[in-house]
Amino acid sequence: MAKIRMCDMEFYGYTGCLPEEKKQGQTFIVTVEMDCENLVGCISDRLEDTVDYSKVYDIVKNIVESSHCNLIEHLCFSIAREVLDSSDLITEVKVTVSKPNAPVNGRFRTMETEVILRA
């Protein structure tokens, strides 16, 4: 088995429950970890035998930047589902969405959620 991680991708999106979050937007940080069984690219060294990072990046970017959902949990699930469906090579995907500027009165580094889906 091989793991492919795409760590701390930063996007600007409009997910949130408050009207100002939907209007002004904010930064979201996304990490995607993909488990792949029998990843031939490890041996063949050919792009067509592995998961195309640029395709996955574009999927995540499109979902984060176009979504206006309320919850990062829903955003996270949407990303995980789309990434899992994007390649037969992916057997499991773990997505973490962080919201460092969540409208919470207190000190914190980030609020985040994680979703794991299996094929």
The one catalytic residue among 3, 22, 23, 99: 99
DSSP strand E in the chain: where? 2-13, 26-36, 90-99, 111-118
Cβ(97)–Cβ(69) under 8 Å? Answer: no
CATH of the domain at 54: 3.30.1130.10
Q: Percentage of the chain surpassing pLDDT 90?
A: 97
Active site residue 22: no
What is the model's pTM? Answer: 0.96
For 82, the domain range is 2-118
> Which pLDDT belongs to residue 96?
98
pLDDT digits (tens, 9 = 90+) for 66-104: 999 999 999 999 999 999 999 999 999 999 999 999 999
Q: What confidence score (pLDDT) does residue 95 get?
A: 98
13 — pLDDT class (breaks 50, 70, 90): very high
pLDDT band at 38 (very low <50, low <70, confident <90, very high): confident
Per the structure, the count of domains in the chain is: 1
What is the per-residue pLDDT for 11? 98
Query: Measured in Å, how far apart are the chain's first and last C-alpha atoms?
Result: 14
